[in-house]
Amino acid sequence: EPEVTQTPSHQVTQMGQEVILRCVPISNHLYFYWYRQILGQKVEFLVSFYNNEISEKSEIFDDQFSVERPDGSNFTLKIRSTKLEDSAMYFCASSAGRNLDTIYFGEGSWLTVV
C-alpha cells in the first residue's frame, strides 16, 4: 500500500535553531499538507500546497514557517527559529486530488524544542 514517509521520526533541537522536517508524499499525489498535534491536543491544520504554491494556511503558519517542494519527491516544512511551543508531532499528508478519501497521513515527526 502506498504511504507517506516522514523524516526524522524524532528531533530534539535548541530554542532558536532552524529545523527542517521532510516528507515524501505518495508519488502521484498533487496536494500536500502539514498538520501538527501538540501533546494531548487536537490535530491542527498548518498549510496546504498545490502546484508549487501555498493554497491555504492557518493563523498558526506565521512567518517563521515555510514550505517547499525542492524536487519532484520531497516536501519540506522549515521552522526558522524554533520556540518551546513548537514542540509537537508534525504530520505530513498528501492527496491525489480534492477527493476526500485520498488524503493519506504520514506517521509524523516528533519535534522537541528545549
Partner 1 sequence: QKEVEQDPGPLSVPEGAIVSLNCTYSNSAFQYFMWYRQYSRKGPELLMYTYSSGNKEDGRFTAQVDKSSKYISLFIRDSQPSDSATYLCAPLTGGGNKLTFGTGTQLKVEL
**Shortest Cβ distance from residue 16 to partner 1 (Å)?**
27
**Shortest Cβ distance from residue 65 to partner 1 (Å)?**
16
**Shortest Cβ distance from residue 41 to partner 1 (Å)?**
7
**Interface ranges with partner 1 (CB under 8 A):** 4, 31, 33, 35, 41-45, 48, 56, 89, 91, 93, 95, 98, 100-101, 103-108, 110
Place of cell 522549515: 78
Of residues 2, 8, 1, 3, the one with CA closest to residue 90: 8
C-alpha 67/C-alpha 5 separation (Å) is 16
Taking the least distance from each CB to partner 1, the nearer of 20 and 103 is: 103
Of residues 101, 87, 85, 104, the one with CA closest to residue 4: 104
**Shortest Cβ distance from residue 87 to partner 1 (Å)?**
15
Taking the least distance from each CB to partner 1, the nearer of 23 and 79 is: 23
C-alpha 9/C-alpha 67 separation (Å) is 18
Residue 93 near residue 32 (C-beta atoms within 8 A): yes
Taking the least distance from each CB to partner 1, the nearer of 41 and 52 is: 41
Of residues 35, 33, 77, the one with CA closest to residue 55: 33
Taking the least distance from each CB to partner 1, the nearer of 16 and 97 is: 97
